[in-house]
Amino acid sequence: MSAYLRLGLNIDHVATIRNARGGIHPDPVRAAMVAAKAGVDGITAHLREDRRHISDADIDRLAAEIDLPLNLEMAATEEMLAIALRHRPHACCIVPEKREELTTEGGLDVAAQHRHLAPYVQKLSDAGCRVSLFIDPEKVQLHVAKALGAAVVELHTGRFCHATGATREGELQRLREAAAFARELGLECHAGHGLDYDTVQPVAAIGEIVELNIGHFLIGEAIFIGLETAIRRMRALMDDARGDAVVSV
Ligand code: PXP
C-alpha cells in the first residue's frame, strides 16, 4: 500500500475559545505540545487579517517553541507575506479570505487570480517555504497551481463533508480525480476542511493524498474526550483507511 498519511492539527479554534474571554487560556501553543505528544505530524495555524483567533504572538511562539513543522495559512496580502518571510515556516498555505465568512468557504480561485498570486508563490518559495494552494478539486485549478510553481495543493473537502447520498459519492469522485491529476502533474496533494470521524476514511483512502489538515472537529471533540485521545482516534481511523488506500493509475 501507499505512503504514510500525515496529520496536521489546525489549532485555530483553541485560540477562538481563548479570545472569547480575552485572556490566555486555553493556550494554542500548549495544544500544539499535547498534539505533538499524540503523534501529529504538523501544526497548522491561520493568521487571519482580522486576527479573530490566532494572533501574531501565537505565531511567534509556535515558531519558537514547537519542534513540529508549522503550516501557516495565510491570505495573499503584503502584510501576511512580510510575516511569513520573517518566520519562514515549513509551509505556507495560501487561502482565500473574506472578512464576513465564518470559515474558509471555498477554494482559492487560482485560475482567476494567477497574476495576483504569482509573486507570492515565488517569494515564499524563494524563502524556502513549501507553498500550498488551497483549491477546489477542479482540473483547471490544478493546472494553474502547477503553472504558478506551487509545490503543494490542498484540496478543499468541505463540499464532500457536507454532502449526502449520491451527491456525496460525486464529491468523493471529484476528490479522487483531482488527487490523481495532482500526482500526474507532480504536485504534492493534501486535503482538508470539515473532516471528522465519519468523513475522514474515504478521503484517507485516496492514496495520492499525503497529508490531511483537521481542526474544528478535533478541537470540539477534545472537550468530551481530551485532545490527545481525539487525535489518537483520528490517527487510528486514518491508518485503518490507509490500509485499503488506492492510488489511481
Ligand atoms: N485546511 C485549510 C486550508 C483550512 O482553511 C482549514 C480551516 O481553517 C482546514 C484545513 C481545517 O478545516 P476544519 O477546521 O474544518 O477541520
Confirm if 228 and 221 have CB atoms less than 8 A apart: no
| Per-residue pLDDT reduced to its tens digit, 67-112 | 999 999 999 999 999 999 999 999 999 999 876 677 767 899 999 9
Among 188, 209, 212, CA closest to 200: 212
What pLDDT does 249 receive? 55
Q: Atom 9 (ligand 1): residue with closest C-alpha?
A: 193
Give the alpha-carbon dihedral of 231, 104, 5, 81, to 10 degrees.
-110
What pLDDT does 3 receive? 80
The answer, yes or no, to whether residue 205 has pLDDT greater than 80, is yes
Say whether 143 is catalytic: no
Given the CA of residue 95, which atom of ligand 1 is nearest to it? 3
What pLDDT does 106 receive? 86
**Residue 121 exposed, middle or buried by CB count within 10 Å (0-12, 13-18, 19+):** buried
Terminal Cα-to-Cα distance of the chain (whole angstroms) = 14
The answer, yes or no, to whether residue 125 has pLDDT greater than 90, is yes
Mean of all residue pLDDT scores within the chain:
95
Given the CA of residue 10, which atom of ligand 1 is nearest to it? 11
Contacts of 103 (CB under 8 A, 6+ apart): 193, 216
What pLDDT does 65 receive? 97
The answer, yes or no, to whether residue 245 has pLDDT greater than 70, is no
The answer, yes or no, to whether residue 182 has pLDDT greater than 80, is yes
Q: Which of 156, 171, 193, 208 is catalytic?
A: 193
What domains are defined for the chain? 6-242 (3.20.20.70)
Say whether 154 is catalytic: no
What pLDDT does 137 receive? 98
Within 13 A of 235's CA, how many CA atoms are on the CB side?
A: 19
Sign of the torsion angle spanned by Cα atoms 235, 14, 68, 74: positive
- What one-character-per-residue DSSP string does 143-163 give? HHHHHHT-SEEEEE-HHHHH-
> What percentage of the chain exceeds 70 in pLDDT?
95
| Per-residue pLDDT reduced to its tens digit, 26-47 | 999 999 999 999 999 999 999 9
Given the CA of residue 192, which atom of ligand 1 is nearest to it? 10
What is the SS3 assignment for 208?
coil
Considering only residues 195 and 97, tell me which one the structure prediction assigns the higher pLDDT: 195
For ligand 1, which residues put their CB under 6 angstroms from it?
10, 12, 46, 73, 93, 95, 103-104, 134, 154, 192-195, 213-217
Say whether 116 is catalytic: no
Residue 46 Cα to ligand 1 middle (Å): 9
Residue 10 Cα to ligand 1 middle (Å): 7
| Per-residue pLDDT reduced to its tens digit, 149-178 | 999 999 999 999 999 999 999 999 999 999
What pLDDT does 247 receive? 63
- What is d(CA 165, CA 238) in angstroms, rounded to the nearest whole number? 22
What pLDDT does 1 receive? 44
What's 109-132 look like in SS3? CHHHHHHHHHHHHHHHHHCCCEEE
The answer, yes or no, to whether residue 233 has pLDDT greater than 80, is yes
Confirm if 44 and 6 have CB atoms less than 8 A apart: no
Distance, CA of 229 to chain centre: 21
Confirm if 73 and 59 have CB atoms less than 8 A apart: no
pTM, entire model: 0.96
Q: Atom 3 (ligand 1): residue with closest C-alpha?
A: 134
